[in-house]
Structure 1
Amino acid sequence: MSQTPAMGAGGRTGIIMLVLSILLGLGISFAAAATIIQANGPGDSAAVTEGPKELIPAEQLLGYGG
């Protein structure tokens, strides 16, 4: 059984759309991860100039324990 030109073109279009969707999704997810890391992470220069902070016990920080 042979494919008609319309069926062959539809298959190629579907594959192109699939590849573009995957690439776009990956790009957006990496951009979101980079934004979250940049917003929540301290700068290296601040960590070096300010030094280590005083340690807080886990039960005080997390609100459990005795």
Structure 2
Amino acid sequence: MANTLKSYEKKYAALEEVVRNLDENELSISELLAQYKKGLTLVKECSEMLQSVEGEVKQIIDEVRIGE
């Protein structure tokens, strides 16, 4: 799970950088489009990672409840 957290943190940091680029820089239309696409990809990847971890947490909770 530690690797997942580091990977998530890297993707999230990259997403923050994309947002900064979109907000602060004067980019050409093609650069804006590329940054937007990269941002959407990162959002999707982060969301999938969070859903996976959420599933693992639910599984752990269910296992603990069964053991009670």
Task: Compute the TM-score of the two structures, normalised by the length of structure 2.
Answer: 0.54
Deviation at 1:27, TM superposition (A): 0.3
2:7 counterpart residue number: none
Unaligned 5+ segments in structure 2 are 1-28
CA RMSD of aligned residues (A): 1.5
Unaligned 5+ segments in structure 1 are 43-66
> Which structure dedicates a bigger proportion of its chain to helix?
2
Displaced runs of 4 or more, over 3 A: none
Q: Percent identity?
A: 8
Task: Compute the TM-score of the two structures, normalised by the length of structure 1.
Answer: 0.56
Q: Which has the larger radius of gyration?
A: 1
Task: Indicate which of 24, 27, 30 corresponds to 2:56.
Answer: 30
Deviations 1:15-51, CA, capped at 9 Å, x for gaps:
1001100000000010001100111136xxxxxxxxx
Q: Kindly indicate whether structure 1 or structure 2 has the higher relative contact order, using CA contacts under 8 Å at least 6 residues apart.
A: 2
